[in-house]
Amino acid sequence: MSLFDMSGEVALITGSSRGIGRAIAEAMAQQGAKVVISSRKQDACDAAAAEINDEFGAGTAIAVAANISSKEDLQTLANEARAAFGKVSVLVCNAASSPYYGPGLGISDEQFRKTMDNNILSNHWLIAMVAPEMLERGAGSIIIISSIGGLKGSPIIGAYGISKAADMQIARNFAVEFGPRGVRVNCVAPGLIRTDMARALWEDPENLKRSTASSTLKRIGEPHEIAGAAVFLASKAGAFTTGQTIVCDGGATISGGV
């Protein structure tokens, strides 16, 4: 059996109708997992789940729309995942917000709160909703998609970076708390990836030039290039890894890229 085999696992992945979350859902389905597709719009979730079911077999994916800013939506998401598949054994907190690009002193209170609520509080809520069943079974993997923005300062996405640094600490705290009962908690920190959320960064010619010039691979990443790290952390291959942040950034942080 492959170390990366996920047969028998049920992965709930937020923000998974497109981008990094969609790539993770497809990669986990390919490894045999059942996947719960979720984002704000039901039609987008339905379309993504249908394509995964067409490729990997009927019943592989279900679609449950949820707004991560709503605790009630997230509880419904967790409940429907369990109703469909009997459990949640892998949680991927991928959905996030970055509503402001610019100097830190220019962000509004509303934009700052939205960033913190969607990128930190929603993860805490969802972890609290699924961790108890994992702890009871004595097994499970929780993965937060953080960012290299949480490892360095920025003049344009400072609040986002604050939230992503907090996600790394959430993973460390819960890894300590949950580890004795067999549940692992980790982060993946992507660099600049070609997603809709990061469009303001990679569509800016000067920022793109600066980022690719100072990274060792000389390019930005694609969503599927983050999925492998998530599969590693969710599968037997990552069974001895917890409380860590895996950086997938094309060498940007080691060489000064953004």
pLDDT digits (tens, 9 = 90+) for 112-168: 999 999 999 999 999 999 999 999 999 999 999 999 999 999 998 999 999 999 999
The alpha carbon dihedral of 5, 7, 9, 13 has a sign of positive
**Band of residue 202 on the pLDDT scale cut at 50, 70, 90:** low
What pLDDT does 208 receive?
75
Which one from 85, 101, 125, 160 is the annotated catalytic residue? Answer: 160
pLDDT digits (tens, 9 = 90+) for 2-15: 999 999 999 999 99
Q: What is the mean pLDDT of the chain?
A: 94
The whole-number pLDDT of residue 198 equals 65
The answer for 252, left when phi > 0, alpha when psi is -120 to 50, beta otherwise, is alpha
pLDDT reported for residue 220: 87
Least Cα distance to 242 among 150, 176, 148 occurs for 176
* Residue 194 predicted with pLDDT over 90: no
Q: What is the DSSP string of 200-255?
A: HHHSSHHHHHHHHHHSTTSS-B-THHHHHHHHHHHSGGGTT--S-EEEESTTHHHH
**What is the per-residue pLDDT for 1?**
77
160 is catalytic: yes
Predicted structure pTM score: 0.94
Give the model's confidence band at 257: pLDDT under 50 very low, under 70 low, under 90 confident, else very high. very low
For the cut 80, the answer to whether the pLDDT of residue 34 exceeds it is: yes
Q: What is the mean pLDDT of residues 72-82?
A: 98
Domains of the chain: 10-255 (3.40.50.720)
Residue bearing tokens 């907090």: 166
Of 59-68, 172-181, 216-225, which gets the smallest average pLDDT?
216-225
Select from 240, 252, 230, 244 the least CA-distant residue to 30: 230
Higher-scoring residue by pLDDT: 206, 227 = 227
